[in-house]
């Protein structure tokens, strides 16, 4: 029997000690006031905060639909543009990280290279979860509004997939920040070439 990969997104509980080397020096509580937390890092953290906020709003909205607090027609009008924005922006954000930022960070500190490999793997896992979430959302949107049971079944299927996506995303965002922000604080955006 093969041992589970403790760095896999669905089981990971944070980074192991060898990938926390800079986080130990720069814990989260020092980030906001650190002089090396520049414009790029602040913008990136704001994007992450927006993904958390929008993911939570979609989750709460779907919960309200499932509880009968909002009618399916009204929900769909609210839901579609937010989900489209969330999925599209998240996919684009990950592409930029994979192709522009991760290579820079990987080259800057070889001790953390394995962490960037893990984060890139997370992006692939999240991409597949995005696709499944979009498929379930499409099925929900196609469910006939006059058939309340069909709408609820489709909403439940979407919500289950979206909840799994959000759980993965939140773990990923936390771990990504814990790897990258301490490196930025340690080196500075200018020295890293991201200013």
Does 123 have pLDDT greater than 80? yes
Residue 193 domain-assigned? yes
pLDDT, tens digit, 9 for 90 and up, residues 88-114? 999 999 999 999 999 999 999 999 999
Residue 20 domain-assigned? no
How far is 13 from 18, CA to CA, in rounded Å? 14
Residue 188 domain-assigned? yes
Residue span of the structural domain in which 177 resides: 71-195
Does 4 have pLDDT greater than 70? no
DSSP helix/strand/coil, 3: coil
Residue 124 domain-assigned? yes
- Long-range CB contacts (within 8 A, 24+) of 23-26: 23/178, 23/179, 23/182, 25/182, 25/186, 26/181, 26/182, 26/185, 26/186
DSSP helix/strand/coil, 167: helix
How far is 20 from 115, CA to CA, in rounded Å? 10
Does 46 have pLDDT greater than 70? yes
Mean predicted lDDT score pLDDT of the chain: 94
* Per-residue DSSP letter, 2: P
Q: At what angle do helices 148-187 and 39-66 cross, to 10 degrees?
A: 160
How far is 45 from 49, CA to CA, in rounded Å? 6
Residue 191 domain-assigned? yes
DSSP labels, 82-116: HHHHHHHHHHHHHHHIIIIIHHHHHHH-GGGHHHH
pLDDT tier at 3, thresholds 50, 70, 90: low
Total structural domains within the chain: 1
Residue 167 domain-assigned? yes
pTM, entire model: 0.93
Residue 83 domain-assigned? yes
Residue 130 domain-assigned? yes
Residue 50 has a pLDDT of 97
């Amino acid at each position: 029997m093969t041992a589970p990969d403790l760095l896999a997104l669905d089981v990971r509980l944070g980074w192991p000690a060898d990938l926390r080397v800079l986080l130990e020096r720069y814990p989260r509580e020092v980030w906001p006031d650190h002089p090396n937390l520049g414009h790029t890092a602040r913008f990136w953290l704001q994007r992450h905060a927006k993904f958390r906020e929008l993911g939570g709003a979609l989750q709460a909205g779907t919960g309200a639909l499932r509880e009968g607090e909002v009618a399916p027609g009204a929900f769909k009008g609210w839901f579609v543009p937010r989900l489209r924005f969330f999925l599209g922006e998240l996919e684009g954000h990950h592409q930029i990280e994979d192709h522009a930022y991760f290579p820079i960070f990987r080259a800057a500190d070889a001790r953390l290279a394995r962490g960037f490999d893990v984060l890139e793997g997370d992006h692939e896992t999240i991409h597949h979860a995005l696709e499944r979430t979009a498929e379930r959302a499409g099925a929900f949107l196609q469910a006939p509004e006059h058939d309340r049971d069909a709408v609820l079944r489709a909403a439940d299927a979407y919500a289950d997939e979206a909840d799994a996506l959000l759980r993965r995303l939140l773990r990923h965002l936390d771990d990504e920040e814990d790897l990258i922000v301490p490196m930025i604080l340690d080196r500075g955006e200018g020295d890293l070439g991201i200013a």
